[in-house]
Amino acid sequence: MRALDLRNVKFSYRGSDVPALDNVSLEVEKGEFVTVLGANGSGKSTICMLANGLIPHAIQGDLEGIVRIFGLDVKEHEIAEFTTKVGMVFQEPESQLFCMSVEEEVAFGPENLAVPRDEIRERVEWALELVGMKGYNDRSPFSLSGGEKQRVAIAAALSMRPEMLVLDEPAYALDPIGRIGLYSVLKDLKEKHGMTVLLAERDAEEAAAFSDRLVLMKGGRIIESGPPRLMLRDPEDLRAIGVNPPQVAEVASLLNTRLMISRFSFLNVDEAEKAIVDEVLALKPGGRQ
């Protein structure tokens, strides 16, 4: 059973003649970290809303094809049935935060499921510790930084004990340090807790280093899908679909062009440094010392 299975999916929002998704097929395995990359209007947010049942239950439109979430057909099951399977985090955390304290925010979901009070306390502490917000229980969510607000939004989703976390451009308003911190949390959730992560982004900088697989979208269609190193081999291809390529990928492409080689392929700064140092050492008389 896959976490998400889309088969020949076509979806148009009510009142629109242009399909947001056009014959899209996508499989997300349990425990996989998949990032969907594309410009605004490419269809990546629509995939996120399909992945937790918002489409077709809360957001109306014409849906064709098969959508299964952990084996459940989204057309045959109500959105409430997916709340404990899929946690959703939106681009702007303020749209999800409304309680007076961090603890109340994280406890809100389990309380509405009538989870016993002692278990709610355990879930709150567990979720806050996972996202690095332990001790913030009594703080107002609205007094926090952008990165901290996003972590609280993730903790609120985690308190429902979902099997998959779906995030729609969660790092949009964060500074570089906040972005790296957020992605580190997601990586830990995947590697240490086996959680499935489905992420929608238009910036490939951090996604390249943390994802198992990248899915490139344009105009409601999947253009290509594969490992990050393969998907980032040509920065110009990414720009053509409105995606910002990682700086290290641009450096690798530039070096390959200038040196008339094809062996440079970087996903992060550490990889770039090691590969360049190795290349310089190899060029020295007598090779490596």
- Angstrom distances, CA of residue 149 to CA of 102, 128, 133, 169: 9, 12, 10, 14
Domain boundaries, the chain: 1-85+199-242, 246-284
Pairing of β 221-226 and β 213-218: antiparallel
Residue 246: DSSP 8-state: P
In this model, does residue 277 exceed pLDDT 70? yes
Calculate what percentage of the chain has a pLDDT beyond 90: 60
Listed residue (224, 247, 176) closest to 35, CA to CA: 224
Q: Is the pLDDT of residue 288 over 60?
A: no
- Categorize the per-residue pLDDT at 285 as very low, low, confident or very high, splitting at 50, 70 and 90: low
Measured distance CA(78)–CA(152) in Å, rounded: 26
What is the distance between the alpha carbons of residues 166 and 69, in angstroms, rounded to a whole number? Answer: 12
Computed on alpha carbons and rounded to an integer, the radius of gyration of the chain in Å comes to: 21
Q: To which CATH superfamily is domain 1-85+199-242 assigned?
A: P-loop containing nucleotide triphosphate hydrolases (3.40.50.300)
List, for residues 29-54, the tens digit of each pLDDT value.
999 999 999 999 999 999 999 999 99
Terminal C-alpha separation, the chain: 52
| pLDDT tens digits, 215-235 | 999 999 999 999 998 898 888
pLDDT over threshold 70, residue 143: yes
What mean pLDDT do residues 97-114 have?
93
116 or 83, greater pLDDT: 116
3-state SS assignment for residue 97: coil
